[in-house]
Amino acid sequence: MAVIVDDGIATGATARAACQVVRRLGASQVILAAPVAPADTVRTFPEADAVVCVSAPDRFVAVGAHYRDFAPTGEQQVIALLDAADQRMRREALARQRTDCVDAEVQIPLGTVTLEGHLHLPDQPRGIVLFAHGSGSSRHSPRNRFVAAILQQAGLGTLLLDLLTGSEERDRANVFDIGLLAARLTAATRWLAERSDTTGAAIGYFGASTGAAAALWAAAEPESQVLAVVSRGGRPDLARQRLGSVRAATLLIVGSADPAVLDLNRRAQARLRCPSRLEVVAGASHLFEEPGTLGQAALLAKDWFCAHLLRPPVPPVVGASR
């Protein structure tokens, strides 16, 4: 969600442009707030989902007419504000450096192969999301890294994984071997859980394309402790025989301009017995390349994982002493 604040609206041109920009950047909801604006502008402002305005007179002359002091902000005042903001950002950066945050490439040994990954952990992580990318992608995928950054801003840890080695990826049969991919994801999850800095963290899976099928397959394992799964443009149908065994809360995100995959997701959701939701992002194709669509998918994923991985602990019940 984005909140656009203006000191007053006259024609509304700049406010409309600002709302359009944040929408294109991925804001799922846009709210415009201003102390004063013409009544007809407030009534007809489709660029914002809601307009909050203290005063909206029918007879509007100018923004300045509604202020006791509408003098322009002085140059020294602007410099002082910018300096204060710079100092605040520096203090926050130093505070982050003092934490035990992990942000590094990792290697995960699994018998005869070693998987490559990128691990980001905040200090004392409460929730961690493992990424299973689709065919033709990797842990360096700009789309997955974009989504991971959104999750990290919400306080979640992330592990972007290559579930196949470089030589294995050259064999296209491996790319669609969902059982193999799921087994690798399960093994990487065990490796993560055995680290001393991830003790007690809740686990989620984010999968795209065939990676989504692997995530659901792995989440259906009897010993799986995964609490949430998010599929973006995924192929859950490739895990068809396992869908009824998935216990993790599952969010399916599909673009409206990807009708074949949308139909496959609808059919897959009908087989799920766990809490689930299907979200359709308007105008998005399979790769979510259209402006703002990947941002919408990332925010949906963030909200889902925060709800299911970062839930506050249930306080102990205090009984009366006997």
Closest to 178 measured CA to CA, from 144, 217, 207: 217
Q: Dihedrals φ, ψ of 137, to 5°?
A: -120, 180
Domains of the chain: 1-58 (3.40.50.2020), 102-309 (3.40.50.1820)
Residues 6 or more apart whose CB falls under 8 angstroms from that of 304 comprise: 228, 230, 249, 251, 277
Residues 6 or more apart whose CB falls under 8 angstroms from that of 296 comprise: 26, 28, 281, 284
Residue 98: pLDDT over 70: no
Residue 206: pLDDT over 80: yes
Query: Confidence class of residue 312 from pLDDT cuts 50, 70 and 90?
Result: low
Q: Is the dihedral of CA 157, 100, 185, 144 positive or negative?
A: positive
Size (the chain), residues = 322
- What tens digit of pLDDT does each residue of 26-63 get? 888 899 999 999 998 888 899 999 899 989 898 888 89
Q: Say how many CA atoms lie within 13 Å of 253 toward its Cβ.
A: 26
Residues 6 or more apart whose CB falls under 8 angstroms from that of 15 comprise: 4, 6, 9, 32, 34, 45, 47, 48
The reply to whether the predicted model has a pTM over 0.75 is no
Burial class (CB in 10 A: 0-12, 13-18, 19+), 146: middle
Query: Confidence class of residue 261 from pLDDT cuts 50, 70 and 90?
Result: very high
Parallel, antiparallel, or unpaired: how do β-strands 157-162 and 113-121 relate?
A: antiparallel
CB 168 within 8 A of CB 146: no
Rounded Cα distance, 86 and 241, in Å:
55
Query: Confidence class of residue 136 from pLDDT cuts 50, 70 and 90?
Result: low
- What tens digit of pLDDT does each residue of 176-187 get? 899 999 999 999
pLDDT at 320: 42
Residues 6 or more apart whose CB falls under 8 angstroms from that of 305 comprise: 127, 129, 151, 154, 156, 204, 206, 228, 230
Q: What is the dihedral of CA 282, 287, 289, 290, to 10 degrees?
A: -20
